[in-house]
Amino acid sequence: MQGLYQLNVQGPDLLEFLEESFAEDQADEVVRKLALDWTRQTWENLAQCDELIAGSAIKWHFERLSPVDKSILRLAVFQLKFCLDIPPKVVINEAIELAKKFSTDKSPGFVNGVLDAVFKKLYAEKQTT
């Protein structure tokens, strides 16, 4: 989430420095690699993630979302859509915990509502294919 936040604020040129940034913050090599992979893959699939978020954030314009909430949602939507080995409840619960830790008091409920709507859309798509 923090890598996505940095990319959102500083731009895609930061991608080449992400590994160094994660190395400073995380000693565990497995965690570092996973964080780097998820950040890069989320950024590569940003358009799909943002489309799902924008279509699920009822009464909110995507551009007006805080950078923190946007980063949390982007990571979680990427995981819901592409990391099928992670149970959706785990993804949503982790996103809510990130919102509690890094965002406002209202963010956990907002994140939960948006991700629930995204999950329902993705689940409906799977049922029709």
Nearest Cα residue to 81 out of 128, 125, 111: 125
pLDDT (tens digit per residue) in 9-26: 888 877 777 777 776 666
In terms of pLDDT, which residue wins out, 20 or 34? 34
State the residue for tokens 């008091």. 105
Alpha-carbon Rg for the chain, nearest whole angstrom, is: 14
Cβ burial 9-39 (10 Å sphere, 16+ → b, else e): eeeeebbeebeebbeeeeeeeeebeebbebb
Q: How does DSSP classify residue 58?
A: T
Q: Which domain holds residue 66?
A: 2-128
Residue 53 has pLDDT above 90, yes or no: yes
How many domains does the chain divide into?
A: 1
The pLDDT tens digits for 62-105 are: 888 999 999 999 999 999 999 999 999 999 999 999 999 999 99
* Average pLDDT over all residues of the chain: 89
Residue 128 has pLDDT above 80, yes or no: no
Look at residue 73 in the predicted model and tell me its pLDDT: 98
Query: What is the CATH number for 74?
Result: 1.10.940.10
Give pLDDT, residue 108. Answer: 98
